[in-house]
Structure 1
Amino acid sequence: MSTDWLGSLVSINCGVTLGVYQGAVSCVDHASQTISLRQPYRNGVRCPVPEVTFSAMDIKELKFQDIQNTVNKRSSGQGSATEPSFISAGAHGQSNRATSDSAHSSSAPITILRRVPAGSSNSRGAAHATQRRNGVRNGGARGPVRSKDDECFGDGTDEDLDTDFDFEGNLALFDKAAVFSQIDGTSGHSNKAQPQSAQAEQRPQSYRHDQNILEAKPIIYRQITVPLHGSKEYCTDSGLVVPCIPYKLHKRLLEAAEHWGLSVKRRLETIGVCSSQMALSLLGGPNRLNPKNIHQKPIVILLCGPHNQGAQGVSCGRHLANHEVEVILFLPSFVKMDESVAREVSLYSRTSGVQVASVSELPASPVDLVINCLDSHENPQLKEQSWYRSAADWANRNRAPVLSIDPPVSEQTVQAKWTLSLGLPLPLAGNESKLYLCDIGIPKLVYKEVGISYHSPFGCKFVIPLHLVQ
C-alpha cells in the first residue's frame, strides 16, 4: 500500500538540473505516478515551499534513509521494504527509456509539481505554471525548443513571483504631503487642517548653499568716516564705501605712521611689493611668467623722478627684476636725488635691471608695460623741466599701457590706464583710469589719531579695485 511509506525519509536524485531532494514522504499517487515530500531540502538548502511533488520519469535515483514501520512490515510479510511499488512500475519501468534518451532527459523541463494548500491566493498561478511545464514536457521529447525565459529562469524559481505587485495600492499608502511636511520641520498630519499661510509662517527660514545660517548683524557699508571729505567717493567690489581725503590729511596720516615706527624705508618696501604684484598680474601672471616661456619675457619701462614717488617706482622695479622681468629704469642723473632714491637705486643696481638717464636710450617699439613715477606731490614745477617733458612725451607716444603709482592731485601729464593709490585715495583731477587701492600697513589707531574712523576694506587682499560712486 502507498500509505505504508508515509513518513519515511527519502533522498531523490533528479539529475544535475533539478538537483537532489531530501524529505519525508507525504503522499504516493499510483494513478499519476508521483511522490510528494514535505518540508523538503534541495541540495542541502531548505526549500521555500512546504511540499514538493515529483514525477516518476524525472527521478534518477531514490534512496531510503529512514523507513517507517519496517520491522512490522517484514514480520507481517507485507512486501519488501526496499522501494514503493509505483517506483517499480514507474522509474524501473522507464529505465530503458531513460537509458536510450539520456541526452534528452538531461535537458528535459522541470517537472516538479507543487501542492498548494486550498484557498491559497497563488493556486491559480501554480496550476498555470504546472500546466505550462507539463505541456512542454508532454509535447514530445523532440518538440519545440524551450523559450529563453525557461532556459534562464525556469529552474528553481519561486512560484510566489507569479503574483503581480500592486503598484497603485502600495503608492496609496505613501502620504506625500506628510513626508514633505516633516522635511520642512512641521508636525506632519496635524498641519493638514491649517491654512497654507499658517504653515508657511511655522516653517523655519531656509537658506541657500552660499548663505550664512548664523544670525548676524546687518552690514554697515560706510565703515570709514573722515573729518575732511574729498570731492569723490569710491566703493569696493563688496559695496564698502571708501571716501577720498585731501592731500594735507594724507600727509598728516603718513607723518603719524612714521612717528609710530612705519618709516619711509618700510613704506617703500611695502609699496614696492604690492605694486610689483599688481604689475605681474597686469603682465599676464602665470600664463606669461613660467619656465617654458623664457623666450618671451615681458619688458617693463620705469619712468622715475628724483623724489619719494620715484623711489617707490625703483622699489617696484627691483621686485619685478627679481621675478625675471626685463626692467629698464629711466632716472635723470644730472639732478639732485633724495636719499631714499639713492638708497633704492643702489639696491636696484644689484639686479639684472638696466638703468638709463636719457629718453633716447629707451626702446622705440611698444613694450609690455610702462610704470609712471615722474610726478611729485611736493614739487609740481618738475613738469616744466625738459627731461620730464621728453619722458612724458615718450610714454604718450608709446602704445604700451601705463600704470601710475601714487600720482598727485593735479591733472596728469601721462595718460594712465591704471592708477594705484596708497592707504586712502586722493581726489584725482580728471582721472579716467581704473583706480586701485594699496594697503601700506598703517594701523587702525594711527588713522584714529588724525580723526579717521577706519575699518580695513581690503579683506584678504593687499590691492583692491575701487569703483566711483556717482
Structure 2
Amino acid sequence: MAADWLGSLVSINCGATLGVYQGEVSSVDQSSQTISLRQPFHNGVKCPVPEVTFSAMDIKELKILEIRSGSNGVTKRSVLDPSAPSTGYAGRKDKGGGGAQGNSAPVTVPGKTEARAHDGGMSPSQNYSKSYGERHADIANQGKVFRRRHNSWSSSSRGANQVTPKKNGSKNGQMKNRDDECFGDGMDDVLDEDFDFEGNLALFDKAAVFSEIDSSDRRGNGARSRGTPAEQTQSRYRHDENILEAKPVVYRQITVPQPGAKEYSTDSGLVVPSISYELHKRLLTVAESYGLSLERRLEMTGVCASQMALTLLGGPNRLTPKNVHQRPTVALLCGPHVQGAQGISCGRHLANHEVEVILFLPNFVKMLEAITNELTLFGKTGGKQVSSVKDLPDTPVDLVINCLDSHENTFLRDQPWYRAAADWANQNRAPVLSIDPPVSGQEQAVEAKWSLSLGLPLALPERAGRVYLCDIGLPRHVFQEAGVKYHSPFGCKFVIPLHSA
C-alpha cells in the first residue's frame, strides 16, 4: 500500500522549529515509520539536498497536494481534512501531536478502501472516477463555468473538481454573471505575476510630495491649512520646538564678583561659574547667620550625596526586595573635619537604604562635635566602623566614598593613616566618589571618578573626575548678600551634572 503514494506531492508541517516542507514522495518505510521527499522545498525555498527523510515523530501535519497514479496515468489533487479519521498511511499516528495522520485524513487510492469526504457527503472514488478533462466537459455541457481562483481559499482547501455550491433561487443567473465579471478570463495571467514592490516604491518621490504639501500649506491653499490668514503665516514648529518664547533665553543667569578659573554648564546649557574658596566660606557664613546651621547643611549634604551614590550603585535595578542576596557594599573613608562629618551623614542614609556601609575613621583624642553626633546616629543603623586600614575589605567593593581631604588642613596628607587609606582606595579598583573635594596646589592623593560640589562649584582639577553640583538649600538672598547674582540651575533635581565649558 505504501507504494501507491510514491510520486505524490505532499506538504509536511514539522512545527515551528523545523518548518514546512513540500516535495514528491520518493519512499515510504512502514517498518521505520519514515517518509522521504524528492526535490524538497523548505518554507518555500528549494533545499540544497536532493532528498529529505522525515520520521513520524517529527510530523505535525501532512497534506497531500497531488496524487499521481502510475497504473492509469490519472493525476488527483486534494488537501487532507484535519477532522477526518486517520486511516491509510502506516507511518502516521492516531494522536495529533505525534504524527501527521492525527491532523489529516487520507485521500482514497484506486483499489483501496474508500473514506467519506469532509464536505458534500461525496466519496473520493466519486470525485476521481473521471479525469479532469472529462469532468470539465460534463460541467460545460450543463451550462456551468468553473474557474480556478488564485490566492484564494478555494484553490488551497478544495479539490480542483469541487465547485462552490450555489444557492437555489431566482438570482442564480445574476450571481453567475457577477462571478464571471470578477473572475473572468485574463485574471489568471495577471495573478500569476509577482508584484514588484521595490520598483513601485521607487516611483514614489517622497521628498517631492512633502515639498509640495509644505508649499501648499505656506500658500494657505492646502487642505491642512487651519485658522485665520494671519495665523497661517506663522512658522510651523516641530514636536520638540512647540514652545513659544516670549523673550530670548539667558543662559548666563549666575554672575559672581570674582569668577574662578573654570566655567561649567548644565545639560540645559545654563552657565555655572566656579568660585574661590573664600567666596564659598562667605556663603556658608551668611547662611549660618540666617539659621542654616552646620547640622542642617550636613543633613542636606548627606541626603543628596546618598541619593547620588544610590544611583551610581544601580538604583531600582539593584536595590529591590528580590535582590537581597546582592546587597551593594560601600567603603566610606573619612577624616576628622567637616568633610568627614558630611561623609558619615551620607553613610547613615545609605545604611538606612539596605546598603552595607564600612566606615573608616581613625581614632583621635579630640574630634568635632558634629562628627561625634554623626557617629552616634551612624551606630544606630547597624553599619560597620573600623579605625585601621587592615580592617577594610581585601576584595573590591562597589563604591568608595572619599572624605579624607579638608579645605583648610592640608597637613593631614603627611600622616600615615591618610597615606595608607589613599593607597587602599587607589588599589581597590572600585570607582571613587569624592564629596566636597578641596582645591589645593598639590595633586589629589585619591583619583576620583565623580566629585560632588556644594552650592557653587570650585575650580577642581582633572583628577577630580566628572563634577556634579549639590543643592544644600542656600536661599537666593544669601547669594545676593555675598555679592552673587543667582538663579537656581537645579530645576526639578537636587543633584545635577556639570560639563566643562
Band the TM-score falls in, shorter-chain normalisation? 0.5 to 0.7
**One-letter identity of the residue aligned with 2:364:** F
Q: Cα distance, 1:218 vs. partner? A: 1.1
Q: In the alignment, residue 376 of structure 1 is paired with which amino acid?
A: S
Residues 1:293 and 1:270: Cα distance change in structure 2 (over 3 Å): same
User: Matched residues, percent identical?
Assistant: 64
Within 2, Cα distance between the matches of 1:182 and 1:415? Answer: 58
Matched, 1:144 2:174: no
- Cα distance in 2 between the residues matched to 1:377 and 1:229: 19
Q: CA deviation at 1:154?
A: 5.2
* Distance in 2 (alpha carbons) for counterparts of 1:332 and 1:271: 22
1:229 is displaced (CA, Å) by: 0.9
Q: Offset of 1:352 from its aligned partner? A: 1.8
Distance 1:260 1:155 in 2: 100
Range 288-297 or range 425-434, more displaced? 425-434
Assess, with a 3 A threshold, how the Cα gap between structure 1 residues 154 and 184 changes in structure 2: closer, same or farther. Answer: farther
Give the aligned partner of residue 420 of structure 2.
390
Match of 2:492 among 443, 450, 460: 460
> CA shift at 1:184, angstroms?
2.2
Which whole-Å deviations, capped at 9, do the CAs of 1:185-213 have from their partners, x for residues lacking one?
A: 64539xxxxxxxxx9x9732111011134
Kindly indicate whether the alpha-carbon contact (under 8 Å) linking 1:235 and 1:467 is maintained by their aligned counterparts in 2.
yes
Residues 1:188 and 2:221 aligned together: yes
Q: Which residue of 1 aligns with 2:476?
A: 444
| Greater helix proportion | 1
Runs of 4+ in 1 over 6 A off after TM superposition: 146-150, 159-164
TM superposition shift of 1:445: 1.5
Rounded to whole Å, the distance in 2 between the matches of 1:221 and 1:236 is 10
TM-score (norm 1): 0.60
In structure 2, relative to structure 1, the CA distance for the partners of 1:248 and 1:187 (3 Å cut) is closer
Give the secondary structure class of the aligned counterpart of 1:188.
Answer: coil
Residue type of the alignment partner of 1:246:
S
- 1:411-437 Cα shifts (integer Å, max 9, x gaps): 311111110000111112443511111
Q: SS of the counterpart of 1:355?
A: strand
**Paired letter, 2:302:** G
* Residue identity in the other structure for 2:496: I
Is the contact made by 1:302 and 1:370 (CA closer than 8 Å) also made in structure 2? Answer: yes
User: 1:281 corresponds to which residue?
Assistant: 311
Task: Give the distance between the partners of 1:151 and 1:181, measured in 2 at CA.
Answer: 54
CA deviation string 1:158-204 (max 9, x = no partner): x999999xxxxxxxxxxx99x95897264539xxxxxxxxx9x9732
Q: Distance in 2 between matches of 1:452 and 1:161?
A: 87
Match of 1:434 in 2: 466
Distance 1:244 1:181 in 2: 47
TM-score normalized by structure 2?
Answer: 0.57
Task: Provide, for residues 15-64 of structure 1, a one-character-per-residue CA deviation record: whole Å limited to 9, x for no partner.
Answer: xxxxxxxxxxxxxxxxxxxxxxxxxxxxxxxxxxxxxxxxxxxxxxxxxx
Which of 392, 402, 408 in structure 2 is aligned with 1:362? 392
Contact 1:375 1:407 in 2 (8 A): yes
Could you tell me how far apart the structure 1 residues matched to 2:457 and 2:260 are? 9
How far apart, in 2, do the equivalents of 1:399 and 1:213 lie? 46
Greater Rg over alpha carbons, structure: 1
Q: Does 1:309 align with 2:339?
A: yes
Map of 1:326 onto structure 2: 356
Counterparts of 2:298 and 2:277, CA distance in 1: 19
* Conserved? CA contact 2:447–2:463, under 8 Å: no
Do the aligned partners of residues 183 and 264 (structure 1) sit closer, same or farther apart at CA in structure 2, a change above 3 Å counting? Answer: farther
Aligned to 2:279: 249
Deviation per residue, 1:56-89 (Å, 9 max, x gap)? xxxxxxxxxxxxxxxxxxxxxxxxxxxxxxxxxx
**Closer, same or farther in 2 for the Cα pair 1:205/1:259, shift >3 Å?**
same
1:460 Cα deviation after fit: 1.2
Residue type at the aligned position of 1:417 = K
**Tell me, what secondary structure is at the counterpart of 1:222?**
coil
Q: CA contact under 8 A between 2:451 and 2:464: conserved in structure 1?
A: no
Amino acid in structure 2 at the alignment position of 1:241 = V
Structure 1 unmatched ranges of 5 or more: 1-138, 165-175, 190-198
Partner of 2:368: 338
Spell out the pairing of 1:261-272 with structure 2 (5 A cutoff).
261-272=291-302
User: Which residue of 2 is the match for residue 211 of structure 1?
Assistant: 241
d(CA) in 1 for partners of 2:319, 2:146: 73
Distance 2:485 2:375 in 1: 37
Q: Which residues of 2 match residues 371-386 of structure 1 at below 5 A? A: 371-386=401-416
Encode CA deviations 1:225-256: one digit per residue, 9 max, x unaligned: 00011111111111111100000000000111
- In the aligned structure 2, how far is the partner of 1:302 from the partner of 1:213? 45
1:289 Cα shift? 1.2
Contact residue 330 and residue 356 of structure 2 kept, 8 A:
yes
| Cα distance in 1 for residues equivalent to 2:172 and 2:472 | 83
Q: Which moved more, 1:247-256 or 1:372-381?
A: 372-381
**Does the 8 Å contact 1:182/1:188 carry over to 2?**
no
Structure-2 change in CA distance of 1:182 and 1:384 (3 Å): closer
CA distance change for structure 1 residues 180 and 352 in 2, over 3 Å: closer, same or farther? same
Q: Which of 399, 413, 427 matches 2:445?
A: 413
The 1:440/1:181 distance shift into structure 2, 3 A limit, reads: closer
CA distance in 1, matches of 2:173, 2:290: 93
- Per the alignment, residue 122 of structure 2 pairs with none
Q: Which residue of 2 aligns with 1:401?
A: 431
- CA shift in 2, pair 1:425/1:187, >3 Å: closer
Pair 187,313 (structure 1): closer, same or farther in 2 beyond 3 Å: closer
Task: Map residues 61-72 of structure 1 onto 2, 5 A cutoff.
Answer: none
Q: Structure 2: 5+ residue runs without aligned partners?
A: 1-139, 148-162, 183-208, 223-228
Report deviation, 1:334. 2.5
Using the alignment, how far apart are the partners of 1:334 and 1:367 within structure 2? Answer: 26
CA distance 1:409–1:155, change in 2 (3 Å):
farther
The secondary structure found in structure 1 opposite 2:358 is strand
Give 1:444 deviation, angstroms. Answer: 1.1
Whole-Å separation in 2 of the counterparts to 1:362 and 1:355? 10
The RMSD of aligned alpha carbons is 3.2
Tell me what 1:351 maps to: 381
Question: In structure 2, how many angstroms separate the alpha carbons of the residues matched to 1:288 and 1:181?
Answer: 49
Query: Could you tell me which amino acid in structure 2 is paired with residue 434 of structure 1?
Result: R
- What is the rounded CA distance, in whole Å, between the counterparts of 1:344 and 1:327 in structure 2? 14
Query: 1:181·1:187 contact (CA, 8 Å) conserved in 2?
Result: no
Preserved CA contact (<8 Å) 1:244 1:426: yes
